């Protein structure tokens, strides 16, 4: 199913704490996700490794402004890491204006999905967007998740409206981006 790799989380016997699932932003990476029962009735499918797209979709389910995909997302579950509790994707609602951002630079071998929150103002202004993913709640040009371009290729940041959910690890989005930005080798950001 869409390149999903089934995982078997091992029980973690260390004393590491699991993060609480509170607030609009989850400031930590999610390791696993799975499909399961509707209405947050519990996960029942196999665990899959959560890369950037499932991590983005988990955050979308928490921060979404629109509840259109609620029933599909209420059958999706995540676990921070081995030994941590399972959570339903739709715990909490925070009514944020949330989008998918794709960060690409083939010269650096980068193709990454991050969260984009529209803060208001002009969609064509980079400063109107907040980017986050994993433990970084304020991704900026030059961070590893949004690196500067190279001398041969700019890093491209394309922001898309989510228009559906294929499954617990894969969103659907419009084909035309809401905004596209380029980051050159010196960190200058321009609207593309």
Percent of the chain's residues with pLDDT above 70: 90
Kindly state whether residue 157 falls inside one of the protein's structural domains: yes
Kindly state whether residue 50 falls inside one of the protein's structural domains: no
- Checking if the pLDDT of 175 tops 60, the result is yes
pLDDT at 30: 96
- Checking if the pLDDT of 130 tops 80, the result is yes
pLDDT at 66: 62
Structural domain including 129 reads 98-191
> Which among 46, 75, 70, 45 has a CA at the least distance from the CA of 60?
70
pLDDT at 167: 94
pLDDT at 14: 46
Kindly state whether residue 128 falls inside one of the protein's structural domains: yes
Kindly state whether residue 44 falls inside one of the protein's structural domains: no
Cross-sheet strand order for the sheet of 189-191: 129-132, 110-118, 98-105, 155-160, 179-183, 189-191
| Separation between Cα atoms, residue 9 and residue 157, nearest integer Å | 33
Q: In whole numbers, what is the pLDDT of the chain averaged over residues?
A: 90
- Checking if the pLDDT of 77 tops 90, the result is yes
170 close to 49: Cβ distance less than 8 angstroms: no
Kindly state whether residue 167 falls inside one of the protein's structural domains: yes
Kindly state whether residue 126 falls inside one of the protein's structural domains: yes
Give the number of domains in the chain: 1
Kindly state whether residue 153 falls inside one of the protein's structural domains: yes
HSE-up of residue 70 (Cα within 13 Å, Cβ side): 9
- pLDDT mean over 3-20: 62
- pLDDT mean over 109-119: 97
Kindly state whether residue 26 falls inside one of the protein's structural domains: no
């Amino acid at each position: 199913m869409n390149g999903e790799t089934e995982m078997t989380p091992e029980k973690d016997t260390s004393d590491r704490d699991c993060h609480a699932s509170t607030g609009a932003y989850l400031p930590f990476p999610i390791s696993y996700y799975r499909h399961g029962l509707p209405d947050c009735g519990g996960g029942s499918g196999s665990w899959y490794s959560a890369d950037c797209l499932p991590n983005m979709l988990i955050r979308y389910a928490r921060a979404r402004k629109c509840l259109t995909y609620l029933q599909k997302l209420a059958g999706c579950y995540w676990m921070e890491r081995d030994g941590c509790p399972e959570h339903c994707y739709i715990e909490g609602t925070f009514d944020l204006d949330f989008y998918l951002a794709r960060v690409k630079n083939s010269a650096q071998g980068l193709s990454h999905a991050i969260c984009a929150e529209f803060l208001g103002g002009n969609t064509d202004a980079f400063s109107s967007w907040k980017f986050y993913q994993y433990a970084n709640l304020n991704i900026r040009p030059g961070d590893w998740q949004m690196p500067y371009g190279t001398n041969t290729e700019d890093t491209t940041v394309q922001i898309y409206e989510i228009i559906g959910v294929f499954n617990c690890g894969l969103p659907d989005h419009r084909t035309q981006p809401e905004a596209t930005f380029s980051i050159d080798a010196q960190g200058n950001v321009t609207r593309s």
